[in-house]
Amino acid sequence: MDNRPVGMFDSGVGGLSVLRAFQSLAPNERVLYFADTAWFPYGPRPAAEVRKRCFAITQRLLASDVKMIVVACNTASAAAISDLREAFPVPFVGMVPGVKPAAVQSRTGRVVILATEGTLDGDLYGRVVEDFGRSTVIDAVPGTGLAELVEAGRTGTPDGTAAVKDVLNRSIAAGADTVVLGCTHYHFLIGDIRAAFPQLAIVDTSEAVARRAVQVLDDGGMRADSDNQQRLDLIVSGDSASFREAMGRLGFPATPQEATA
């Protein structure tokens, strides 16, 4: 048993998709969520810069004695997950784009992977495509502007649908029938994607990653006591009031406790 918190981080609200799944699977765990909004967006930044942020955030989370860290961001996972695992003595769980399930379920043999520029440039993505994508045509599409749209709370609006159409139109017209959400922010665009392309299958790995995190806790004998109260603490590197507002818009209860960055 281990009642210490689980650390989790993203550049902003994207990782809340993993947080929500994790909280429903592990109702007794405390989570310390670091939203690095002062550095948002990660997508266009050089990998070395994102890696530096990942190291700084990890050090801050470890200072609060977290027992495990979930890198709830594809861009950060692509830039840093193996270095983090080498450098720090806690388990890390990261995001990997769901190319494999998409390749398996596609009927047309053509899938879109929608991710940030940083993720699509990284080795991790290249490896996944090499491993699973041989028999499938994969359109790597940068979701330029989409994470910003989510962060600004403009999902579920005509803007959201139009932005999704804009980035996906070409691939869908070329026969893609499945989209892999390769950025945790895009989870919150699922409604817009469905509105724009009702037939399109969507592969979202947020729940699978949450499940993996629970499994790592189980395997390490690190689950919290069954009478431990679920709790969420926040660290926001940018403006915390607007981050809380964004959380509220996504349906998270108001005013979680807050630590300092």
**What distance in Å separates the CA atoms of residue 18 and residue 10, rounded to the nearest whole number?**
10
Q: Kindly tell me which residue out of 9, 34, 40, 125 binds ligand DGL, with binding defined by CB under 6 A.
A: 40
Beta bridge partners of 105: none
User: Of the two residues 11 and 155, which places its CB atom closer to ligand DGL in the complex?
Assistant: 11
Q: Kindly tell me which residue out of 147, 224, 235, 247 binds ligand DGL, with binding defined by CB under 6 A.
A: 147
Taking the alpha carbons at both ends of the chain, their separation in whole angstroms is 28
**What distance in Å separates the CA atoms of residue 105 and residue 44, rounded to the nearest whole number?**
30
Comparing CA positions, the residue from 123, 152, 126 lying closest to residue 140 is 126
What is the Cα 251 distance to its own chain's centre?
17
Candidate list 183, 234, 236, 247, residue with the active-site label: 183
What sign for the dihedral angle of Cα 173, 178, 182, 183? positive
DSSP state of 30: E
As measured in angstroms, the least distance from the Cβ of 139 to ligand DGL is 18
CB half-sphere exposure, 241, CA atoms < 13 A: 0
Residue list 189-218, contact with ligand DGL (CB under 6 A): none
User: Of the two residues 10 and 177, which places its CB atom closer to ligand DGL in the complex?
Assistant: 10
The two three-digit tokens of residue 255, written as one number:
């005013």
120 contacts ligand DGL (rule: CB under 6 A): no
136 contacts ligand DGL (rule: CB under 6 A): no
54 a catalytic residue: no
User: Of the two residues 84 and 224, which places its CB atom closer to ligand DGL in the complex?
Assistant: 84
41 contacts ligand DGL (rule: CB under 6 A): yes
Q: Contact 172/165 with Cβ under 8 angstroms?
A: no
183 a catalytic residue: yes
What is the Cα 93 distance to its own chain's centre?
11
Q: Kindly tell me which residue out of 53, 60, 110, 185 binds ligand DGL, with binding defined by CB under 6 A.
A: 185
Binding mask 50-89 for ligand DGL (x = CB under 6 A): -----------------------xxx--------------
Residues taking part in catalysis: 73, 183
**Which positions touch ligand DGL (CB under 6 A)?**
10-11, 14, 40-43, 73-75, 116, 119, 147, 183-185
